[in-house]
Structure 1
Amino acid sequence: MTQKNLTYDYIIIGSGFGGSVSALRLSQKGYKVLVVEKGKWYKATDFPKTNWNLRKWLWMPYLRFFGIMKLSIFKHIAIISGTGVGGGSLVYANTLPTPKSTFFNSGSWSSLNNWEDDLKPYYKEALRMLGAAQNPSLYDGDKALKAVAKDLNITQKFNPTRVAVFFGTPNKTVKDPYFNGEGPDRAGCNFCGACMTGCRHNAKNTLDKNYLYLAQKQGATILAENEVYDIQPLDKNDSALGYEVSMKRSTRIFGKHQKITTKGVIFSGGVLGTVKLLLALKAKSLPHLSDHLGEDIRSNNETLISVSTLEKDKNLSKGIAIGSILDTDENSHLEICRYGEGSNAWKLAHLPYVTGSNVFSRLFKTAIKLIKNPVDYFKIYVSNGWAKNTVVLLFMQTLDSTLRFKRNTLGKMISTVSSGKAPTPFIPESIALVKSYSKAIKGVSTSFALETLAGIPSTAHILGGAVMGENTESGVIDKDNKVFGYKNMLVIDGSMISANPGVNPSLTITAIAERAMDQIPNKQ
């Protein structure tokens, strides 16, 4: 088979930040592009009104739930990720921060380039494409964080967030405000707080409103509800001749299988999609992948702890998902996350927040809290509207530790500690901030039950596993995102992130994707 007979020039696996950038830029360069997405294609009115609609909120195919958020539990960490056309942009909290200099000068990629300077124009373009704007309105949850900053004497470190949201006039629909009329109509944000269950008001700048929308206008094809399970070089001795990509329906038990040929492949399924698939492929059809695959998994050293106010006059659900940020020290920061009023399902997975070195001490402390404060916890679990009265404190650090993902004897991806200490939900700085915020809103703290029962933290920002390196000894891809050992194969998603950014990585993934696409010439 010659390259002229190939069905596509590039097949992109995943439609998140890396995949959507790749789809648009390759299409603009004249390539024939197919984007394969495991999740469903959600329009604004398809999103759940609250997270009680589990079928539209959670991705659990074995229960026939095909929603936009997936929860994956490993020995060392619980991971929240996005599914659907637009990937993590459907469920993320919109924030677009740039990492500090430490990020660009550490990790396996640090010696490959002057990253901080080289990426500056790509960050600028990513901000433009994602419609970045500063949050113009602070509400009860944000004001409480500002009060914490004042109490800690670091008021100057408190700031509204930069986010991918169209603010305009609340609920008023206007013609495309971003791309000279080439994009879709948009409506102004009404600060309902429901960004993370899917924006039903057409205000959130998800990837189907920018990169993917424009890519389709350039001729790209998006194939939803399909999952790639194998990739075979057409010629085992020369991968430059192309690949055969095998996929199956992801939302049907007896779904259709198909095989499509392509010159190039871009892995953009996020860490849980890309690393899992690459580990499986290394064991059978792509044996020349680097042995470093699965190494350098990072989590931003996060903790996610909920605080529920007992004051009746506050509405903590009002605002955008993350409206403010507090830099607590040179390595750490705190954000408050909110859900829209009525999205109370999370309370079913929470226990009183306690710390301790083992499960027995934590369970004992939990029981003591429930016994001492029965009325408070009754209000949280039964009588209160959880989302209206609760914020989730998202604490992140740039301090580094890494995990490794590998396959066990059953072919299942598992985690092990690679370097440093295992991730923990019990970080002293985080504990102190929880106490300060609880005091500010007269609140009671709870956390995801797994933290109490298993002592493992949760993260929405899993990174690494297919990192950049000088060679196969230190990485899976080179500085231009090209996979070592195979031609016309790239990794462009969170698994390429090669150091700890300590902030939401969406903007960084977008910027590095823009740079990677800039290295690919126009189609001849």
Structure 2
Amino acid sequence: MTDFDEDVVIVGSGFGGSVAALRLREKGYRVRVYEAGRRFADEDFARTSWNVRRYLWAPALGCYGVQRIHRLPHVMILAGAGVGGGSLNYANTLYQPGAAFFQDPQWRGIADWETELAPHYATAKRMLGVVERYPYTGPVERIMAGAADDLGVGGTFRHAPVGVWFGRPGERVADPFFGGEGPERTGCTLCGNCMVGCRVGAKNTLMKNYLALAERRGVVIEALRTVTEVRELRDGGFAITTRRSGAWMRHGQRTVTARQVVLAAGTWGTQQLLHRMKHEGALPRVSETLGRLTRTNSEALDGAVATAVPDSLELARGVAITTSFHIDERTHVENVRYGPGSNLMGALATVMVPGDRGLGGRVGSVLAQTLRAPVRQLRLGTLRRWSERGIIALVMQTADNSLTLSLRRRFGRLTLTSAQGHGEPNPSHLPQAHRAAEAIAARMQAEGGVPTAARGSWPEVFGIPLTAHFLGGAVISSSPRTGVIDSYHRVWGHPGLHIVDGAAVPANPGVNPSLTITALAERALSYWPHAGAEDRRPAQQAI
């Protein structure tokens, strides 16, 4: 087959998909991007997280926001939605992982990854406008530094690298990053609502760099189109079927053909699509390892909350994440904030419970703490001004634990489920996170003079950790016996199909993974030939 509607169709517009869109267009390909979420102008984002229809993603209920929430038996997942994917609601935090990530046994024998990815990390940092050190110090930053000192790890404390245009607060300027080719920008006002959606225009979302440049060069991005099928064609190429996102009727189903397809729908979206296509025979040669080595970044989300807003502390002022420290050699702790008024996610918080107890013990601990001091727990647990009374502690590890995902039929539909996988069991709680939250709470009470307590989450009470960084399951490998894609990100057995999102990441990076996903995508796309040129990548081994 030689007559295709497109040269390349890209499924998803997050960090990997946006890189693919720009770089493939620069190489002369006709490119179309499908994104399940909606397109946002700066003023379209929710003012606070209470504007549920603009904040949460539940299209069947008329909610077309930026925040997806998925649940598996072993983890609850926070992800992004919209043109720009996770960049719309991530915390702008762009760390490069340490040596342990690059030396993970899953991929260390394939290449010297730390050396090979170094120039692509540099490109990713330039494109995403990374400021290597958050430039302000306020109460939260002092509390985090003090907590690190109290834990005996003060030497690991640092200000975070962030993707934000600071400039002059509130001042609109011509594009400062790409010689005027990108959109105008407005200096950060430190409003704290990075993860609800930046209405200011300061956050370096993908619509401010990769996607803006890609569209200017002719890439077509179709929003609110969910890909329901990617089917290999008998004579080569693929048929890609989409329907209108969230439609109950009049789905508007359409099918286009493309010579090649890039999957970048986020780990959940890419895995779900691949599992279904393998099950239905549309992509029959996908490796049997699909779903293995699914990672959660070994995360926990705990924190500290005061009974009232400390007058001397502006806890909600700043960008979403500003500092971090290492509580031990494999555990990384960051402060997280929402801006004033964005209190909805506080509904996930509750008292901190002993993680080494069974379900009955954990529930009993909630009841005991509540009955022991009901007024205090009510004041701690209210959502009123929650974002101004607390600090979230995001804790991540490089630990070698994983889940294995597979399909199950539920209520007549095929959906993903999980089981414990390779390595250590995926943790339902992290003792290090509890220690960090308690140290932050102690420092916060000392600074603010208001009773403060460490806090956990309701999912953790029921043995289900939270993660904002769902990764893996279709990982880089040396053969189809050990993973789903080769070192060029081509799917084993279907070399015209590529994966360049978090599903390709083979190990827990222990830091926010957005920069790594971007760098991996930059590397993968650098090997693509220009349109019409000879492909010098080695052919895949036969399956």
Identify the residue that residue 111 of structure 2 maps to in structure 1: 113
Corresponding position of 2:8: 10
- Aligned pairs for 1:396-411 within 5 A: 396-410=396-410, 411=414
Amino acid at match of 1:505: P
Partners of 1:143 and 1:360 lie apart in 2 by 38
Unaligned runs of 5+ in 2: 446-451, 533-543
Query: Residue 487 of structure 1 aligns to a residue in which SS?
Result: strand
Contact 2:346 2:383 (8 Å CA) reproduced: no
For 2:238, the equivalent position in structure 1 comes to 243
Q: Distance in 2 between matches of 1:473 and 1:53?
A: 46
CA–CA distance in structure 2, aligned partners of residues 391 and 488 of structure 1? 46
2:469 counterpart residue number: 461
Contact 1:23 1:35 in 2 (8 A): yes
Match of 1:444 in 2: 453
1:302–1:425 CA contact under 8 A, matched in 2: no
**Alpha-carbon distance in 1 for matches of 2:70, 2:110:** 32
Q: Deviations over 1:365-393 (max 9, x none)?
A: 11221223333322233484100111110
The CA distance in 2 between the partners of 1:354 and 1:6, in whole Å, is 57
Is the counterpart of residue 295 in structure 1 residue 292 in structure 2? yes
- What pairs with 1:322-337 in structure 2 (closer than 5 Å)? 322-337=321-336
Q: Answer with 425-434 or 142-151: which moved more.
A: 425-434
Shift, 1:434, TM fit: 1.5
Determine whether 1:160 maps to 2:159.
yes
**One-letter code aligned to 1:282:** K
Query: Distance between the aligned counterparts of 2:372 and 2:143, measured in 1?
Result: 26
SS at match of 2:327: strand
SS of corresponding position for 1:119: helix
CA distance 1:298–1:383, change in 2 (3 Å): closer
Work out the CA distance in 1 between the residues paired with 2:383 and 2:113: 51
Asked if 1 retains the 8 angstrom alpha-carbon contact of 2:303 and 2:441, the reply is no
Task: Look up the SS of the partner of 2:78 in the other structure.
Answer: strand
- 1:218, distance to aligned residue in structure 2 (A): 1.0
Which residue identity is paired with 2:254?
Q
What's the counterpart of residue 146 of structure 1?
Answer: 145
Name 1:517's counterpart in structure 2: 525
Contact 1:331/1:399, CA 8 A, preserved across alignment: yes
Please say if residues 336 and 393 of structure 1, whose CA atoms lie closer than 8 Å, have aligned partners that are also in contact.
Answer: yes
- Show the counterpart of 1:29: 27
Distance 1:90 1:381 in 2: 28
Q: Which residue in 1 is equivalent to 2:211?
A: 212
Contact 1:73 1:79 (C-alpha < 8 Å) held by counterparts: yes
Q: 1:309-328 maps to which residues of 2 (within 5 A)?
A: 309-310=306-307, 311-328=310-327
CA distance in 2, matches of 1:383, 1:161: 28
Tell me the equivalent position of 1:307.
304
Task: Give deviations 1:88-107, integer Å, cap 9, x for gaps.
Answer: 00011011111001111114
SS at match of 1:319: coil
Q: Report 1:259-278 matches (<5 A).
A: 259-278=255-274
Establish whether residue 430 from structure 1 lines up as the match of residue 433 from structure 2.
Answer: yes
Match of 1:500 among 503, 508, 515: 508
Instruction: Give the paired residue count.
Output: 517
Give the aligned residue type for 1:467. Answer: V
1:322 is paired with a residue of what secondary structure? Answer: coil
- 2:252 aligns with 256
Task: Give deviations 1:320-376, integer Å, cap 9, x for gaps.
Answer: 100011122221111010001011112223221112421211111112212233333
Q: Distance in 1 between matches of 2:481 and 2:428?
A: 32
Letter in 2 for 1:292: T
Compare 67-76 and 305-314 and name the one that shifted more.
305-314
**In 2, Cα distance between the equivalents of 1:344 and 1:306?**
14
Alignment RMSD (CA, Å): 1.3
**Residues 423 and 456 of structure 1 are in contact (CA less than 8 Å); yes or no, is this contact kept in structure 2?**
no
Q: How far apart, CA to CA, are the structure 2 residues paired with 1:383 and 1:457? A: 21
Partner of 1:129: 127
Greater shift in the superposed pair: 304-313 or 220-229? 304-313
State the 1:513 CA deviation: 0.3
Please state how far the C-alpha of 1:429 moved relative to its aligned partner. Answer: 1.7
- How many Å separate the matches in 2 of 1:487 and 1:479? 12
Q: Give the secondary structure class of the aligned counterpart of 2:158.
A: strand
2:65 equivalent to 1:56: no
Give the AA of the match of 2:385. G
- What SS does the corresponding residue of 2:472 show, helix, strand or coil? coil
CA deviations on 1:290-338 (whole Å, 9 max, x unpaired) are: 1011110011111101311243432211111000111222211110100
Residue 412 of structure 1: aligned partner: 415
Matched, 1:381 2:377: no
Contact in 1 for aligned 2:303/2:440 (Cα 8 Å): no
TM-score by length of 2: 0.93
Q: Deviations over 1:5-27 (max 9, x none)?
A: 21100000000000000000000
Q: Does 1:390 align with 2:399?
A: no
- Separation in structure 2 between the aligned mates of residue 182 and residue 38 of structure 1, nearest angstrom: 27
Q: Distance in 2 between matches of 1:224 and 1:146?
A: 42
Identity %: 37
Task: State the alpha-carbon separation in 2 of the partners of residues 439 and 376 from structure 1.
Answer: 16
Kindly provide the CA deviation profile for residues 237-261 of structure 1, in whole angstroms up to 9, marking residues without a partner as x: x4xx311111100132222000001
| Alpha carbons 1:138, 1:319 under 8 Å: kept | no
Q: Alpha-carbon deviations, 1:181-231, whole Å to 9, x = none?
A: 100000111111100000010000000110000000111000000011112
1:68 is aligned, of 43, 66, 83, to 66
Equivalent residues of 1:171, 1:187 under 8 A apart: yes
